[in-house]
Amino acid sequence: MIIGVPKEIKTDEFRVGMTPSGVMELIKAGHSVLIEQGAGLGSGFEDSLYVNAGGVMLESAEDVYAGADMILKVKEPIEVEYARLREGQILFTYLHLAADKRLTEVLCAKKITAFAYETLRVGRRLPLLEPMSEIAGRMATLFGAVHLGRYFGGSGRLLGGAVGVERNRVLVLGAGVAGKSAADAAAGLGAEVVMMDINTERLTYLRDVMAPNVTMLYSTHDSILECIKTADLIIGTVLLPGAKAPKLITHDMLSLMKKGSVLVDVSIDQGGCFETSHTTTHSHPTYEVDGIVHYCVANMPGMYPRTSTVALTNATLPYAIKIASTPLPALLKDELYVCALNTYDGDVTNEAVADAHAMPYKGIML
């Protein structure tokens, strides 16, 4: 199969869909790889490294899309890329279609076989989401702490406090990979941390492995209402695979919070878990609503593209090889890849995405 790796062009995105070593592995598996010139530069990979690995360097994204049977990316295609998609192509990337009806319609119209990193399941795990969730969780605490600074519009509280000064409070909504990483980082900085989730089994496990300054609470509307009153930093990491994130903090609830506190919405790719969230960029990461600082960058790991690219492609490479090496009818008899499939032959094949946009859903028969 001919695999294409175009340059990411979403604002402030410097990751790349495959490393030179990954290209070498794809070629060893019998495939050809087309690379857009400069695709890896943001992650520190020179064009020559791809050529030395056996990739074919092309000058334009149009050439990559035109020549490839399968496109490997990091982020979902943006509007300028829609016309480049070729009917019947395979697309393997983060899609987050529940937050993007227009892209969903385009993928259906072009009969794209679209596999989403974020819905590929192995048991209860989402292995292609986990590496970026870990990075985004750590970043949520670090950048939340920075934006508590008065210079950035925050309350002027140092997250871990100081000798003779009370420790500040962090509320983490969601106890998955991102939530645990955020809580670990906050606890390490000396904050008082509360983690909330509705999975009591997960909360029990985390109670036994987390630092003593992390408290586990079952998530209800009332418990969230109480905790936001004293929180200095609130990090939202809730995830319903493929679906829009639930709105756990409404606009009205902001009035209960301390002025200058910070909301970090890690769930913004899936529409955000705060009612007042809207997508921001690394260049302009925050805005204020009713005295509350909002940080809602949709591609947080893109801030650290070298680490993020290597971590992501280490996870995606085996699945990319499998998709490229297996006839599609056989691949769609494997439940793992059916879970990852979001659109196929003009239909939405992920029920959560279909529900989000009130579009018809067509399941794949195994």
CATH code of domain 130-298? 3.40.50.720
Catalytic residue, chosen from 100, 184, 197, 269, is: 269
Task: Give pLDDT tens digits along the chain (366 positions).
Answer: 999 999 999 999 999 999 999 999 999 999 999 999 999 999 999 999 999 999 999 999 999 999 999 999 999 999 999 999 999 999 999 999 998 999 999 999 999 999 999 999 999 899 999 999 999 999 999 999 999 999 999 999 999 889 999 889 999 999 999 999 999 999 999 999 999 999 999 999 999 999 999 999 999 999 999 999 999 999 999 988 878 899 999 999 999 999 999 999 999 988 999 999 999 999 999 999 999 999 999 999 999 999 999 999 999 999 999 999 999 999 999 999 999 999 999 999 999 999 999 999 999 976
Q: Which residues are bridge partners to 2 per DSSP?
A: 32
CATH 3.40.50.720 residue ranges of the chain are: 2-126+305-357, 130-298
**Could you say which of 31, 96, 147, 294 is catalytic?**
96
Q: Annotated catalytic, 284?
A: no
The token pair at 148 is 């508590």
Q: Which CATH architecture has domain 2-126+305-357?
A: 3-Layer(aba) Sandwich (3.40)
Respond yes or no: is residue 269 known to be catalytic. Answer: yes
Structure-token pair, residue 86: 């070729």
pTM: 0.91
